[in-house]
Amino acid sequence: MNKDKTVELLLPAGGLDTLICAVDYGADAVYIGGQRFGLRAKADNFSIEDMKKGVEYAHAHGAKVYLTVNIFAHNNDIHEIPEYFKEIKDVGLDAVLISDPGVFMLAKKYMPEMELHISTQANNTNYETFNFWYGMGAKRVVTARELSLAEIKEIRANIPDDLEIEAFMHGAMCISYSGRCLLSNYMAGRDANRGLCTHPCRWKYAVVEESRPGEYMPIEEDERGTYIFNSKDLCMIEHIPEMIEAGIYSFKIEGRMKTKLYVAAAARTYREAIDDYLESPELYKSKIEHYKEQISACTYRQFTTGFYFGKPDSDSQIYDSNTYVRNYIYLGVIEEVNDDGSVLLYQKNKFCIGDNVEIMDFRKGDIKAEVKSIRDEYGREQESAPHPSQKLYIKFNISADCLKKGMIIRMNSN
């Protein structure tokens, strides 16, 4: 186990900009996907050059980068993976995350010096499995999502001290066992176990009786609706002490396809909560409501503690909708702070002169500001910013001295 830190806060990044955001807002480590062989093919993902840039930025700020190569490989994948490993072995990655035993053996052959982690996708549910992977040379194993904290604590007591345990603490839950889903492949021809999940578990379903084609009868449970597979999101912000007590070293946030606003809010909130707890358990306890308010700035589907305190029940599902709760609107990220007091951003959602916004500081708190002026890249004044991705120069009613490149600008959706 890494003795330099008590726990590690591990954030997702779908692209280089999001990696930088995660590091800026407090991640100890970031996990990313390359353009092949990961489970989030629809994310932006990283070219080899972007990996190098991301690793350089993370290492300069004391953070690590892990690459996911966690598909379940078919024969045609096996032919291509050795060349991929040759390409990534000298990028400077801190570890590669793998599910498939065959891919693991190829990694040992073609990247003998690389630290290897075992993905949750490998269904790691007992201490003998952890010990098996340790014997094969793995440094870390990610628990299956179906484990309770009591089970994880028992695993910790029965594995070597230097084998690290990683577990999810926040994010979307999958309807299938450890993420092994066949629905997407069957219904859309896109294999979830090779990175192409279309999330059919979030769709609305009905029943058709065999002799009555075209007659759709809703699936209802207590008249609450028909989204029968749609789980709430995991949130363990109130249970950091229990996770540490269980022996979990790496606290993992789900979401390589999420926005920078999600990553920033999750990183900053969990960073604050973890640091507060390590400083003073009483301080942490006194700020629970604050953490809950801050984490709700992420998009989410209501919260659950998953399997950690026992088997989920009907309260862990959402039957009436598959939509996210969005309490904040992402306006953009500060690309530069100019001498005239303006900031540059590439606008993501509409805002207007006079709107009250929040600029997320990198560690604690938000900077409240009012939009005073908007100029386009040609210097023309605008009353509003309705066009996504427009290059804009914004002035606020505050001094620009407290603003820094990389800060997220958001607006309360209410």
Residue boundaries of the structural domains of the chain? 8-176+231-316, 328-412
- Which among 147, 141, 178 has a CA at the least distance from the CA of 162? 141
Is 70 exceeded by the pLDDT of residue 196? no
The predicted pLDDT at position 282 comes to: 97
Separation between Cα atoms, residue 252 and residue 240, nearest integer Å: 12
C-alpha torsion sign, points 160, 164, 169, 175: negative
Under CATH, to which class is 8-176+231-316 assigned? alpha beta
The predicted pLDDT at position 6 comes to: 86
DSSP helix/strand/coil, 212: coil
- The pLDDT mean for the chain works out to 86
**What's the distance, Cα to Cα, between the start and end of the chain in Å?**
45
The predicted pLDDT at position 257 comes to: 77
Q: How far is CA 121 from CA 37, 39, 134, 243, 402, in A?
A: 13, 10, 17, 20, 43
The predicted pLDDT at position 223 comes to: 46
Mean pLDDT computed over 363-390: 92
Is 60 exceeded by the pLDDT of residue 319? no
The predicted pLDDT at position 219 comes to: 58
Same fold? 8-176+231-316, 328-412: no
317 vs 169, residue with greater confidence: 169
The predicted pLDDT at position 301 comes to: 62
The predicted pLDDT at position 337 comes to: 96
Percent of the chain with pLDDT over 70: 80
Which one-letter amino acid corresponds to residue 335? E
Is 70 exceeded by the pLDDT of residue 106? yes
Residues in Cβ contact with 407 at an 8 Å cutoff, skipping those fewer than 6 apart = 333, 334, 359, 360, 361, 362, 367
Residues in Cβ contact with 327 at an 8 Å cutoff, skipping those fewer than 6 apart = 296, 297, 412, 413, 414
Is 80 exceeded by the pLDDT of residue 53? yes
Return the CATH superfamily for domain 328-412. Answer: Translation factors (2.40.30.10)
Which one-letter amino acid corresponds to residue 320? D
pLDDT in tens, 77-105: 899 999 999 999 999 999 999 999 999 99
Is 90 exceeded by the pLDDT of residue 281? yes
